[in-house]
Amino acid sequence: RGPCSVWSNSPNRAQIINVTYIIVALDITWMFVQIAVTPYLAKKLDFDTLWFGYLQTTVGVIQLLGGPICGRFGDVFGARAALSLSCVASIVFFLLLAIADTPAMLFMHKLPVFFMHVLPGSQMVLADLTEPENRANALSKIGICFGVGMIAGSTIGGNLNTMFGETITAYVGAFGCSFTLLLVLMFIPKSTKPQSPSTSINRKNLSIFSLAEITRLLKFPGITRIFLIKIISGLPSVIFQVMFSIIGMNFFKLEPAQSGYLMAFFGIAQMVIQGFVIGRVTSRYSDGSLLLFSIGVCASVGLAQAAMQNVFHFCLIVFPMVFSLCLFNVITDSMLTNSVPSSDTGTLMGLCASSQSLLRTIAPTIGGFLYENYGVPYFGMIQCAVNSVLFVYLFKYGLKKQETKHE
């Protein structure tokens, strides 16, 4: 199930992996440039909080539908085609944003999001080009790229928007995506899949929209179970994340500049943890033990969130929060990719992206209800309760079973 020997011995493999990290960092940068534009443009077009929520939900639904299909596209037509399609869609996305001058156009510019899946496409490349024992470490470094992109994109987008306005900022984003596309065409090979009999068999069915081909991965041992763990454990954290802008404004009383500094602090914390911590622990301990540990830390973080009273308290728990989230995502992605043939890693990463989109689609509604009726401490209480129950279940019934399957 690991990469074929030709890639393992290829001198170009390290170069492809390094360029893939650069592509991820650039893609995240342009994403945060867009984040610096959309809220202000929506305000100019008289969007209220409700309609802005509809806009965000629309993005979640489109990504939910597009993730598995684009992942399947990568498995069938190769990494270069999949990443190129994502980059072209990003260019169209920014061009539509630049000319959006009505509410309908603002909704319309979100349609290319269906094909914008650079991150799962890059995860597919890394999964294809790394051995199973090194995969978690390779995937963890994506977090460094995310931190770099968060800081760079927020800074670039905010300054450009302030000095030149939303239209010029959107055109800069389109130009940046064009540069990313150039890197894909120059350095990413047509396919990163090992040429094995199973690959040939899977490619006989070239239907990109084959629901059977997409859902058959859920029949592999342990796959459905890990997806359920990702959704159950991840939902409380995602609820807090999508409500964080409201919490920062109303609960922490932060000014816009202070919110920017806090986001930069998040980015730095993520880079430090992904760069110096995650890789080391994944090389020393089993996936099952680390999964259990990350859920336990997440439960403890929830308890701390329930007790926090100000932004200083929140800053104290940022590092354990980022650590638990990063470790959880890396380990579950590693366990999933190690459970399927390399010919299906693209579809699997697409399903992972869709699971996150599903959470981000339902989280705003749940988060808004909790915030209005119970307050901020309940976010932490729910996270603590859910992950504590999941920790006890895995410790008593699930962990040995999961490790036995991997052995």
* DSSP symbols for 348-404: HHHHHHHHHHHHHHHHHHHHHHHHHHT-THHHHHHHHHHHHHHHHHIIIIIHHHHHH
| CATH number for position 117 | 1.20.1250.20
**What CA dihedral angle connects 57, 58, 63 and 69, to 10 degrees?**
140
Evaluate whether residue 208 is within a structural domain: no
Q: How far apart are CA 397 and CA 399, in angstroms?
A: 6
Q: Which residues 6+ apart lie within 8 Å of 246 measured at CB?
A: 371
On whether the CB atoms of residues 149 and 26 are closer than 8 A, the answer is yes
Beta carbons of 169 and 367 less than 8 angstroms apart: no
Taken in order 63, 66, 72, 77, the sign of the CA dihedral is negative
Residue 387 placed within a domain:
yes
Q: Give the tokens for residue 237.
A: 């954290």
Return mean pLDDT, the chain: 82
Residues 76-92: b if buried by 16+ CB within 10 A, e if exposed:
bbbbbbbbbbbbbbbbb
pLDDT tens digits for the chain (407 residues)?
444 444 444 558 888 999 999 999 999 999 988 877 887 787 788 876 667 767 877 887 888 888 888 888 888 888 899 999 999 999 999 999 999 888 889 899 899 999 998 988 888 888 888 887 777 778 778 878 888 888 888 788 878 888 888 889 999 999 999 999 999 999 998 888 765 544 444 444 556 656 666 677 777 888 888 889 999 999 999 888 877 777 877 788 877 567 767 877 887 888 888 778 887 888 888 888 899 999 999 999 999 999 998 888 999 999 999 999 989 988 888 888 787 777 777 777 778 877 887 887 788 778 878 887 888 899 999 999 999 999 998 888 765 444 444 44
Q: How many helices (H) and strands (E) does the chain have?
A: 21, 0
The one-character DSSP state at 45 is T
Sign of the alpha-carbon dihedral angle for 121, 126, 131, 132: negative
Residue type, 222: G
Total count of domains within the chain: 1
- 33-57: pLDDT as tens digits: 887 788 778 778 887 666 776 787 7
Q: Is residue 201 part of a domain?
A: no
* In a domain? residue 171: yes
How many angstroms separate the CA atoms of 6 and 155, rounded? 41
Give the pLDDT confidence of 102-150 residue by residue, as tens digits: 888 989 989 999 999 898 888 888 888 888 777 777 877 887 888 888 8
| Domain membership of residue 297 as a residue range | 5-191+213-406
pTM: 0.75
Q: Who's near 321: CB < 8 A, 6+ residues apart?
A: 301
Over the stretch 71-83, which tens digit does the pLDDT of each residue have?
Answer: 888 888 888 999 9
Alpha helices in 100-165 (DSSP H): 103-108, 118-129, 132-140, 142-164
Decide if 286 is inside a domain: yes
Residue 288: name the closest of 226, 238, 227, 353 by CA: 226
Q: What is the dihedral of CA 72, 77, 81, 87, to 10 degrees?
A: -10
Residue 173 domain flag = yes
CA distance 83 to 86: 5
Burial of 22 (0-12, 13-18, 19+ CB in 10 A): middle
Q: Tokens at residue 169, please?
A: 């900022």
